[in-house]
Structure 1
Amino acid sequence: MTCASKLRAWLRIIRPINCFMSGLAVIVAVLIAQRGLPSMNIMYKVLLGFVTGFTITASSMIVNDYIDREIDAINDPTRPIPSGAISPGQALHAAILLGLIGVIASALTSLPCLIIAIAAWTLAVIYNAWGKRTGLPGNLMVSTCVSVPFIYGGALVERLDLFLLLFIAMAFLANTGREITKGIVDVAGDLTKGIKTLAIVKGESYAARIASIFYISAVALSPLPVLLGVVSLWYVPLVLITDIGLIKASLDIVEKPTRDVARRVKKRVLLWMLIGLIAFAAGTFS
């Protein structure tokens, strides 16, 4: 295997977009909590926060692939571990190293941040080892992990207000819809391991309807920051893109809850969530 192929395998296993979004979420949470750019005297803590968000997420992504290597051999045999590009041992060592980097970065930030980082890493491992088999409760665990970077950012500047809580709620709802949608994609492999996703227990159509409820619930919360006067108008055009995207995702998955459609919706929702993240950051500037 060439160095380029190996690098692509490592990038695929850590899912750099997800990692970047987690690190960015910490920065956005700081912007939201402080209503603008942080002061220079805490900028190094913000950068450490990005490192923590990125590396803890990367670690949890690798743990996910390590534990799911047999399921992935059915659902997606091209994944780095079942394809042989990365060995299980290499993956486990990398997951531990990245997790430790994140914890050390959080320890250099503050005690509350250290506690949150350890709790998030632990929750991610518990989910991958056990929680994912529980279906909806596991989906909620993942969404909690996705929400943690925003809590972390608030803790970093010692401020967790209504505006930040609104964003946490929207991210939690949208991601729960995405996790349920992923269950539709992974039915074949999940059946072999007894994973009780909504798609398996209640059927793909039922799962699609529940996913759409979560997407629409996130959309329903999006006007509140404007109505409460806690964002600038820069928030509006970007959040409209996110809202339209999530509504379209809801319609698509309900109309045709197949594996191919669910896979497409899952990927696009990640983009809409990223734009929503940028919308909240933009809304902190007048």
Structure 2
Amino acid sequence: MLPYLKLMRPANIITAFADILAGAAIVAGGLMVFGNVDLYLLLIATAGLYGGGVVLNDYFDAELDKIERPERPIPSGQVTKKQAFILGVSLYVVGITAAFFVNTVSGSLAVIIAILATLYDAKGKHLNWIGPLNMGLCRGFNLLLGMSVLPSVIFQNWYLLFIPVVYIAAITSISKGEVSGSTRKPLYVAAFFYLIVIAAIAYLGWESEANSLLASLVFVALFAVFILPPLAKAIKEPSAKRIQAAVKVGIISLIVMNAAIAASSAGLFFGLVVLSLLPFSFLTGKLFPVT
């Protein structure tokens, strides 16, 4: 099972759980969502969608990985391309089916996420600005998937999908230099996008009816402490090693970002609930590849 788990990137799937919980916090708030079976179905859905997407990413990258990452499961011969394809599609089916069990809005969003993820895997990541936008939309729609626990409210908050869109677009831009290093220009752009995301979440706390400005600021500060130092080190020394570290922290810090969104929308306790996913993601991130 180990090669298949490596393909699925368990630490990243945990960050996808944080998207769902943050989305649910935005539309439902507080503890009321924990008694909702639909929330757990959406967690299953995002696990299938994210897992399927990253498995198919390695499927499409098999030839390139023979050169750049020969230790990965497919180029090393631990998993065949056919097995990876079957696994990826099967995970998609699980994710989409679970989402349709919630409601048609959730199911439709799951289909959109699967399409966006596959487009990114097959073509989007090779296209300059389109690739980062493509991956950002995957995360943005995953946040909407969490909101779809209450579909009647989702359309009042749809614009919040742009927070993860901007953040993931920044990380995806940085990741272009994971193998051979980078120039400083995309790193400065990423820093600018990071600051936009930080400001947007703080503003969300300011505007929230949950009186959560203080909780929002605490989590936003924590988020900034996580993501800015590794990026600063990469800007100072834009080597592949520094960039890989910045990308890894950026991906795992999605949990902190979602905790900040949850705290801004529903208060301190719900932010802490989302943040509790962080140690599990760090632990699995030590055991399995993240990037």
Superposition TM-score tier, normalisation by shorter sequence: 0.7 to 0.9
Q: Which residue of 2 aligns with 1:191?
A: none
Q: 2:33 touches 2:39 (CA, 8 Å); kept in 1? A: no
Displacement after TM superposition at 1:28 (Å): 2.1
Displacement after TM superposition at 1:18 (Å): 1.6
Q: 1:123 touches 1:145 (CA, 8 Å); kept in 2? A: yes
Counterpart selection for 1:94 from 87, 92, 95: 87
Q: Mind listing any 5+ residue stretches in structure 2 that lack a counterpart?
A: 269-291
Q: Which residue of 2 aligns with 1:3?
A: none
Q: Distance in 2 between matches of 1:264 and 1:27?
A: 26
Counterpart selection for 1:33 from 19, 23, 27: 27
Q: Distance in 1 between matches of 2:140 and 2:63?
A: 28
Q: Distance in 2 between matches of 1:162 and 1:171?
A: 17
Q: Distance in 2 between matches of 1:161 and 1:113?
A: 13
TM-score scaled by length of structure 2: 0.83
**Aligned pair 1:108/2:108, yes or no?**
no
Counterpart selection for 2:171 from 160, 170, 178: 178
Displacement after TM superposition at 1:67 (Å): 0.4
**Aligned pair 1:65/2:44, yes or no?**
no
Amino acid at match of 1:237: V
Between 1 and 2, higher relative CO (CA 8 Å, sep ≥ 6) is seen in 2
**Aligned pair 1:216/2:210, yes or no?**
no
Displacement after TM superposition at 1:252 (Å): 2.1
Q: Distance in 1 between matches of 2:110 and 2:235?
A: 36
**Aligned pair 1:256/2:237, yes or no?**
yes
Percent of paired sites with the same residue = 19
Q: 2:124 touches 2:131 (CA, 8 Å); kept in 1? A: yes
Q: Which residue of 2 aligns with 1:20?
A: 14
SS of the counterpart of 1:37?
helix
Q: 1:31 touches 1:38 (CA, 8 Å); kept in 2? A: no
Displacement after TM superposition at 1:187 (Å): 4.6
Q: Mind listing any 5+ residue stretches in structure 1 that lack a counterpart?
A: 1-6, 189-198
SS of the counterpart of 1:125?
helix
Q: Distance in 1 between matches of 2:193 and 2:201?
A: 13
Counterpart selection for 1:245 from 222, 226, 229: 226
Q: 1:237 to 1:24 in 2, by over 3 A?
A: same
Residues matched between the structures, number: 264
Q: 1:163 touches 1:230 (CA, 8 Å); kept in 2? A: no
Amino acid at match of 2:185: Y
Q: 2:60 touches 2:122 (CA, 8 Å); kept in 1? A: yes
Deviations 1:134-180 (A, max 9, x none): 122111100100111111122230213776744x3332222111101
Q: 1:18 to 1:101 in 2, by over 3 A?
A: same
Amino acid at match of 2:52: S
1:218-237 equivalent positions in 2, closer than 5 A: 218-231=197-210, 232=212, 233-237=214-218
SS of the counterpart of 2:32?
coil
Q: Distance in 2 between matches of 1:152 and 1:272?
A: 20
